[in-house]
């Protein structure tokens, strides 16, 4: 496929590398299906695709431990699947069904799962950051070793909540890993049109937080960086900031006409896409071939078809249930 | 003036009662901690937590930076993470910097997550005017929060309530906001020696009467009680209903008092436009319209930012004389 691809390091665990590829492919294909279901009117509201950025979530999630919490944004389908929410529950949520992971009350932007510590799905830019800091505070006070993973786009770094959260996490030395997914655009606003300081790591360092720039298109790099961050946070060294440099291949949401960037620019980045480059490296290392690829694709396609069927046959939450969960059902 | 204290009762200020409630909460449950600006070394901006830092230590009495959004949001995250935080926001005016966390996060997570993620968070804040602190420290914005499903809004007016509502709020699985009126902190009241948690779903009649109902809450309760005394001298028998909780409103108690007296004055330090007084008026209209002899009257803050100068501030806030006049008009105008 790509003769220029650099083989993977000799000491790589081949099975693990292939698994990383499979995980990225799984969320890519899932979201392609979502886009299709959106066009056919099955999914409504806002739908923000992660296509192009899969190496970030995939690498990061390898270091997320069972007791950790993940606080993400509205662009969180990939993270939710990687964290272990079933594809059925995610697809059913997008369909607004009772079997959805938020019982159809959240939709694409508000996937939640208490069992896996997936604390949303927050669609207020910057809004999840203080929550992640608080979760880390609870972890530190209870000394339970949990880490809070706070995932956000670079656009959020202009919000006050970023600065307040960064300061508080650093001041109190809390186990938070701040994962900035820098795809260079906040809707249509390019980074250099919104930030006076585009070296994002400098912002984190100004709070005396350890910060790294990471190639967000290379899943091995994202995985290694997340492991360093997790080790540091778990060792009690306070928060850690990772800037993952990546790119969004699709529109911001399904409503975006993409007037702010050229097709050519997108295409250039697609050539460096995480699946394309990593797939080529796996092939160069003889870990992947046409047949293996076809098997992976077939397995994933089956899972997706099942998820669609599950969502289709799901129960619309009865309107009589509308008022539930405004307050807890068990009151003291 | 020295009145004898009935057996089994203690006299204390609202501040002392708030403090006792906090102290008890911190002593009873290790998961409880207090955080906010100047709650520790300074002792709390209204001196409610004075001495707590020394007693409970800096882990549980956390001074925060000036970051309302971050520390309120951190309260949410800590609550989700298994703690029972009490967050103190100096005044409701500053809570607007945390409105995102309170309204977009705390109030929504349970519903938006399909019932999975509840937020057992208590937020305390001071509210109200009367100390000549002008337009950025004197507003009564509690009814902004009473607008929001998912929140509970408590407005303790008595020593018993400020002490007991905290315990009830902490036992609640959902976010509860407690508003303490700044003029109440030094006010004395009687508290039963065995005072404890109190119900937060019921309004309470603080003075029974037959001719007119004064419906109020928080700092205005005491103005209403004073007004009722003056009305009595004029031969008017006023009932005073203390709402205690602005969300959920106790419709039953409101309609019961309307039915008894058939005349209503709502007294609120918030503005009338779009405020809790408007909400109560609408509910009476919906549920007890034919019980009324005369239209509902309101005594609210003037529609201005609360000013500094004493005479202007006094004119902007509901005063006892305004309440007496409004109630008198209702009763006499109808006789
Ligand atoms: C507080 C707030 N302001 C504005 C918006 C509208 N909005 C949604 S996403 C977005 C861009 C965010 O960009 P970024 O943080 O870089 O994340 P990305 O979408 O690129 O993943 C904007 C402006 C919002 N949801 N919340």
Give the pLDDT score at B4: 84
Q: How far is the CA of B261 from the centre of ligand 1 (A)?
A: 54
Give the pLDDT score at A332: 81
Q: Do B66 and B169 fall within a single domain?
A: yes
Give the pLDDT score at A1: 46
Which DSSP string do the residues of B187-233 spell out, in sequence order?
Answer: -EEEEETT-----SS--EEEE--SSEEEEE-TTHHHHHHHHHHHHHH
pLDDT tens digits, A58-78: 999 999 999 999 999 999 999
Q: Do B188 and B272 fall within a single domain?
A: no
pLDDT tens digits, B244-271: 999 999 999 999 999 999 999 999 999 9
Instruction: State which of A125, A178, A185, A188 you would mutate to test the pocket of ligand 1, scoring each by most atoms of that ligand within 8 A of its C-beta.
Output: A125
Regarding the beta carbon of A179 and ligand 1, being less than 6 Å apart is answered: no
Q: How many angstroms separate the CA atoms of B228 and A319, rounded?
A: 47
pLDDT tens digits, A28-45: 999 999 999 999 999 999
In a domain, B5, yes or no: no
- Asked if the model's pLDDT at residue B323 lies above 60, the reply is yes
Beta bridge partners of residue A115, listed in sequence order: none
Q: Do B307 and B183 fall within a single domain?
A: no
Beta bridge partners of residue B212, listed in sequence order: B238
**Mean pLDDT score, A158-162:** 98
Tokens of B240: 């005073």
Residue A4's pLDDT band, with cuts at 50, 70 and 90, is confident
Expressed as residue numbers, the domain containing B69 is 10-192
Which DSSP string do the residues of B33-51 spell out, in sequence order?
Answer: EEEETTSSSS--TTSTTTT
Q: Angle of helix A274-284 relative to helix A54-61, nearest 10 degrees?
A: 70
Tokens of A188: 């249509």
Q: How many angstroms separate the CA atoms of A86 and A91, rounded?
A: 9
- A151 close to A76: Cβ distance less than 8 angstroms: yes
Cβ–Cβ below 8 Å for A114 and B33: no
Q: In Å, how far from its chain's centre is CA A248? A: 12
In a domain, B3, yes or no: no
Cβ–Cβ below 8 Å for A324 and B101: no
Strands B84-91 and B122-127: parallel
Q: Do B209 and B258 fall within a single domain?
A: yes
Instruction: Judge whether B137 counts as a catalytic residue.
Output: yes
Give the pLDDT score at A47: 96
Q: Assess whether the previous peptide bond of B48 is cis (omega < 30° from 0).
A: no
- Asked if the model's pLDDT at residue A2 lies above 70, the reply is no
Of B192, B212, B230, the one marking the end of a domain is B192
Instruction: Judge whether B160 counts as a catalytic residue.
Output: no
In a domain, B199, yes or no: no
Query: Residue B321: which CATH number?
Result: 3.40.50.920
Tokens of B325: 């006049």
Q: Do B171 and B32 fall within a single domain?
A: yes
**Mean pLDDT score, A172-186:** 98
Regarding the beta carbon of A51 and ligand 1, being less than 6 Å apart is answered: no
- Asked if the model's pLDDT at residue A218 lies above 80, the reply is yes
pLDDT tens digits, B186-215: 999 999 999 999 999 999 999 999 999 999
Domain count, chain B: 2
> Which residues lie below 8 Å from residue B286, measured CB to CB, with a gap of 6+?
none
Report the percentage of chain A scoring pLDDT > 70. Answer: 99
Regarding the beta carbon of A155 and ligand 1, being less than 6 Å apart is answered: yes
Q: How far is the CA of B161 from the centre of ligand 1 (A)?
A: 42
Give the pLDDT score at B2: 57
Q: How many angstroms separate the CA atoms of B17 and B22, rounded?
A: 9
Instruction: Specify the fold of A45-247.
Output: Rossmann fold (3.40.50)
Q: How many angstroms separate the CA atoms of B268 and A145, rounded?
A: 48
Q: Do B305 and B326 fall within a single domain?
A: yes
Cβ–Cβ below 8 Å for B74 and A134: yes
Q: What is the mean pLDDT of chain A?
A: 97
Regarding the beta carbon of A186 and ligand 1, being less than 6 Å apart is answered: yes
Q: Do B112 and B224 fall within a single domain?
A: no
The H-or-E segment that residue A167 falls in is: helix A160-171
Strands B9-13 and B188-192: antiparallel
Domain boundaries, chain A: 45-247
**Which residue from B244, B267, B264 is spatially nearest to B255, judged by alpha carbons?**
B264
The complex's ipTM works out to 0.96
Beta bridge partners of residue B265, listed in sequence order: B214, B297
What residues of chain B lie within 8 A of the CB of A80, using their CB? none
pLDDT tens digits, B85-103: 999 999 999 999 999 999 9
**Which residue from A140, A114, A118 is spatially nearest to A239, judged by alpha carbons?**
A140
Give the pLDDT score at B262: 98
Interface size, chain A vs chain B, as Cβ–Cβ contacts under 8 Å = 159
Regarding the beta carbon of A75 and ligand 1, being less than 6 Å apart is answered: yes
**Mean pLDDT score, A151-167:** 98
What residues of chain B lie within 8 A of the CB of A127, using their CB? 73, 100-101, 104-105
In a domain, B40, yes or no: yes
Q: Do B91 and B213 fall within a single domain?
A: no
Catalytic residue among B16, B68, B239, B313: B68
Q: How far is the CA of A126 from the centre of ligand 1 (A)?
A: 8
A293: left (phi over 0), alpha (psi -120 to 50) or beta: alpha
Q: Do B250 and B322 fall within a single domain?
A: yes
Q: Do B148 and B81 fall within a single domain?
A: yes
């Amino acid at each position: 496929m790509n003769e220029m691809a650099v083989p993977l390091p000799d000491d790589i665990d081949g099975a693990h590398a292939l698994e990383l590829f499979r995980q990225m492919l799984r969320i890519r294909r899932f979201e392609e299906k979502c886009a299709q279901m959106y066009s056919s009117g099955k999914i409504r509201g806002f739908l923000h695709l992660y296509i192009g950025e899969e190496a970030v979530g995939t690498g990061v999630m390898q270091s997320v431990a069972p007791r950790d919490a993940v606080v993400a944004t509205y662009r969180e389908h990939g993270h939710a699947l990687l964290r272990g929410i079933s594809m059925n529950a995610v697809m059913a949520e997008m369909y607004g069904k009772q079997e959805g992971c938020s019982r159809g009350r959240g939709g694409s932007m508000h996937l939640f799962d208490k069992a896996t510590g997936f604390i949303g799905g927050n669609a207020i830019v910057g809004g999840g950051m203080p929550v992640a800091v608080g979760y880390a505070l609870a972890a530190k006070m209870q000394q339970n070793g949990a880490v809070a993973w706070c995932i956000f786009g670079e656009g959020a770094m202009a919000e006050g909540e970023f600065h307040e959260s960064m300061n508080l996490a650093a001041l109190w030395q809390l186990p938070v890993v701040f994962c900035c997914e820098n795809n260079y655009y906040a809707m249509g606003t390019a980074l250099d049109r919104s930030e006076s300081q585009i070296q994002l790591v400098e912002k984190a360092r100004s709070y005396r937080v350890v910060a790294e720039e990471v190639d967000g298109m290379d899943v091995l790099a994202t995985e290694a960086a997340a492991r360093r961050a997790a080790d540091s946070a778990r060792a009690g060294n306070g928060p850690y900031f990772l800037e993952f440099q990546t790119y969004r291949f699709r529109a911001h949401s399904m409503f975006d006409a993409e007037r702010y960037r050229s097709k050519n620019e997108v295409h250039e980045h697609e050539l460096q896409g995480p699946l394309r480059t990593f797939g080529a490296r796996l092939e160069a290392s003889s870990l992947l071939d046409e047949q293996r690829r076809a098997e992976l694709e077939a397995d994933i396609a089956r899972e997706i078809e099942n998820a669609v069927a599950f969502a289709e046959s799901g129960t619309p939450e009865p309107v009589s249930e509308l008022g539930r969960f405004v307050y807890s059902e068990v009151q003291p | 003036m020295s009145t004898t204290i009935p057996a089994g009762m203690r006299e204390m200020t609202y501040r002392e009662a708030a403090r006792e409630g906090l102290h008890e909460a911190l002593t009873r449950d290790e998961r409880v901690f207090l955080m906010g600006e100047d709650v520790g070394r300074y002792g709390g901006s209204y001196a409610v937590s004075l001495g707590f830092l020394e007693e409970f230590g800096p882990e549980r009495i956390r001074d925060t930076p000036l970051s309302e959004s971050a520390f309120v949001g951190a309260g949410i995250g800590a609550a989700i993470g298994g703690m029972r935080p009490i967050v103190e926001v100096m005044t409701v005016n500053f809570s607007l910097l945390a409105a995102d966390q309170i309204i977009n996060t705390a109030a929504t997570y349970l519903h938006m997550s399909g019932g999975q993620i509840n937020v057992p968070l208590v937020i305390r804040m001071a509210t109200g005017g009367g100390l000549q602190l002008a337009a950025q420290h004197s507003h009564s914005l509690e009814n902004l929060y009473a607008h929001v499903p998912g929140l509970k809004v408590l407005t303790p007016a008595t020593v018993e309530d400020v002490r007991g509502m905290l315990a009830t709020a902490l036992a609640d699985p959902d976010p509860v906001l407690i508003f303490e009126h700044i003029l109440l902190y030094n006010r004395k009241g009687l508290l039963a020696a065995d005072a404890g948690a109190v119900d937060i779903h019921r309004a309470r009649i603080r003075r029974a009467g037959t001719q007119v109902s004064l419906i109020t809450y928080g700092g205005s309760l005491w103005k209403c009680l004073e007004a009722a005394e003056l009305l009595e001298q004029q031969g008017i028998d006023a009932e005073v209903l203390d709402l205690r909780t602005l969300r959920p409103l106790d419709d039953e108690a409101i309609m019961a008092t309307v039915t008894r007296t058939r005349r209503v004055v709502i007294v609120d330090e918030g503005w009338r436009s779009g405020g809790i007084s408007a909400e109560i008026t609408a509910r009476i209209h919906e549920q007890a319209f034919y019980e009324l002899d005369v239209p509902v009257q309101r005594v609210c803050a003037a529609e201005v930012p609360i000013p500094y100068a004493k005479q202007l501030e006094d004119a902007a806030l509901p005063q006892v004389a305004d309440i007496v006049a409004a109630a008198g008009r209702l009763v006499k105008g109808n006789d």
